[in-house]
Copies of this chain bind each other. A is one copy, B any other.
Amino acid sequence: MGDQQFKSTVELTLKVIGGKWKPVILCHLTDGVKRFGELKRDMPEITQKMLTQQLRELEQDEVIHRKVYTQVPPKVEYSLTDHGQTIKEVLDVMALWGQGHLERRRG
């Protein structure tokens, strides 16, 4: 992989799964299918607006799937796509590095 391409793919990855909320959302979705309200309960700090917005973007990037049940009251389920599943290892590596970083700054 060329140097320029390396940089741009790293940037692309951060555009798709970076930012304040997306990694957290993705972590929760690694547990399996979740409803909107469940995700909201899992992340009390996030606002409804942000949650909706970030979910839409993840959906556009085909990282998560949005399944709408046409019923009253509404029900919407979110889950990782097959492609989205592959993000787990990226999150794992990031978690490991963060872990090492923490320990290093303490000891």
Q: How far is the CB of A77 from chain B (nearest CB, A)?
A: 20
Q: How far is the CB of A71 from chain B (nearest CB, A)?
A: 31
Measured between beta carbons, the chain B residues less than 8 angstroms from A96 are 9
Query: Interface size bucket, A side?
Result: 35 or more
A72 at interface (Cβ–Cβ under 8 A)? Answer: no
Select the stretch in A16-24, A32-40, A48-56 that faces chain B. Answer: A16-24
Are B90 and A12 interface neighbours, CB within 8 A? no
| Chain A contact residues, majority secondary structure | helix
Measured between beta carbons, the chain B residues less than 8 angstroms from A104 are 62, 83
Are B86 and A12 interface neighbours, CB within 8 A? no
- Nearest-CB residue, chain B, relative to A8: B98
Q: Which of B6, B86, B98 contacts A10 (CB 8 A)?
A: B98
If A83-B104, A89-B93 are given as contacts, then 12 extra A-B residue pairs at C-beta distance below 8 Å, sorted by A number, are A6-B91, A7-B27, A9-B98, A9-B101, A9-B102, A10-B98, A11-B23, A12-B102, A13-B98, A16-B98, A18-B19, A62-B104
